[in-house]
A and B are shown apart, each in its own frame.
Chain A
Amino acid sequence: MGLSLFQSIHWAASFLVETAVLAVALRRSVFKQLPIFVAYLALLVTSESARWIAYEFTGISSRISFDTYWTTQAILILCRAAVVYEICRSLLSPYTGIWKLCRPLLITLGLVLAGSAAATARQRVHPISATTLIAERGLEFTVVSILIFGLIFCRYYGVQVERYLAWIALGLGFYSAVQVANNTFLGDWLTQANFLIWQILHEVSFNIATIFWIVALWKPLPARQPAPVLLARGEYDRLAPQMTLRLRELNTRLLEMWK
């Protein structure tokens, strides 16, 4: 059995919107600034086509459809993680020192969370669908965590997030956050009726994310900012100890006042 009429209409509408986002991204030359994001959009359209072919020719409940769905889903999640990393790099890499500090932390966080997601999924004795849900939840959590961690760095150091990047990031983060809750819900109460709710939430949240990306790319991208001229190498080493000393002294005095 293939897709129902409603599912076919929804699939066609989603496919059209995703293709439109890809077309706008290409027209706006987003690949010059965010090549992985454009690759992700292209992969999205390809995955949708592959899924549709699998559903139509082998039936929605077939093993081939199941494998096609989860394989493409795994690739898309990994790609989303790469897009999030790309956004963080785009924001922070002009500030060499901060990026050198942030990059290993982002990579470590990603590896630790993805590793723990894999470990949790392996431990579960649930059927394969529940295990994949748990793995997906872990990976989505990894994606949103990397994003939030990178954005905390931006906020802490006062790095401004450009409007289009903010909407793209919101789309990615929104979808991942909803999936974390959605998969927990279905993982705990795996029934046919709940599966339908999960599916609706899954698709609607992705449609919303796609709308965010359209908003992001609606206007032409701003011109690329020139790289900031950084201070001389020794400046940080000269100023840092003085600053530290004063801040520390100030805290000591405040502590004395408190005692």
Chain B
Amino acid sequence: MTVFAVTLAALGILVALFWLLFGSPATETPVSLDARDVEEFLPANCRHFPQIRQMLETEDYQFMRRRAPRHIEREWRRERRRILGQYLKDLGQDFGRLERLARLIATLSPEIRRAQEWEWMWQGVQFRLLYRMVAVKIALGSFSTDDIARLTEPIAALAGELESRMALIAECAPSRLHADVGS
């Protein structure tokens, strides 16, 4: 039994090793960062929220409940869920971009704090867990658009603050240095 478990563990280690060494690198590598791709790190989707919010107005819901035939209303609700689901997905992407930016700052900083890094890692874990649970909730029922709106505010606010900082970070990015060396 021990031999079987250890053999499985060794196989797992080998697969992990292979993935860590040769798995397709994530796009966030500082080496691949270029000044022209700075926007890639800034949250983008949350800026489109006003349009989505308009689409998901509560009055529309009340109107549909009163006036529309049942099958149309059902179809309409399904569409709303789809839009919310898509929006949550976009929100996840925005969070991912912020996270990548946080890691990039850490990568290029001469001093980083352990507690801070653990906190960012923990926030990422927490977000991913919650994200899955909310996705299930959206799939099962409906959501208040105010809730979704409140979700986007922090990302949108941070995006503006970070924009100015990003120019400096891009200047220091390793890929920029490589390009300079190569030329």
Contacts and interface: CB of A to CB of B under 8 A. Distances in A.
A233 interface: yes
A100 B112 contact: yes
Interface in B1-54: 2-3, 6-7, 9-10, 13-14, 16-18, 20-23, 25-26, 28-32
A47 to B, nearest CB: 24
A231 interface: yes
Interface string A69-102: 0000000000000000000000000011110110
A247 interface: yes
A234 to B, nearest CB: 9
A54 to B, nearest CB: 30
Interface size grouping (class) on chain B: 35 or more
A181 B158 contact: no
B109 to A, nearest CB: 4
B75 to A, nearest CB: 25
A-B interface, 5 closest residue pairs, ranked by CB to CB distance from nearest: A97-B112, A236-B109, A181-B10, A158-B29, A151-B20
Given A160-B31, A233-B110, A240-B105, 12 more contacts: A97-B108, A148-B13, A161-B21, A180-B9, A181-B10, A188-B2, A225-B174, A243-B120, A250-B151, A256-B150, A257-B134, A258-B134
Interface of B: 2-3, 6-7, 9-10, 13-14, 16-18, 20-23, 25-26, 28-32, 95, 98-114, 116-117, 119-121, 123-124, 126-127, 130-131, 133-134, 137, 143, 147-148, 150-151, 153-155, 157-158, 161-162, 165, 168-169, 171-174, 177-178, 181
Interface of A: 95-98, 100-101, 144, 147-148, 151-152, 154-161, 166, 169-170, 173-174, 177-178, 180-181, 184-185, 188-189, 225-226, 228-231, 233, 235-236, 239-240, 242-251, 253-258
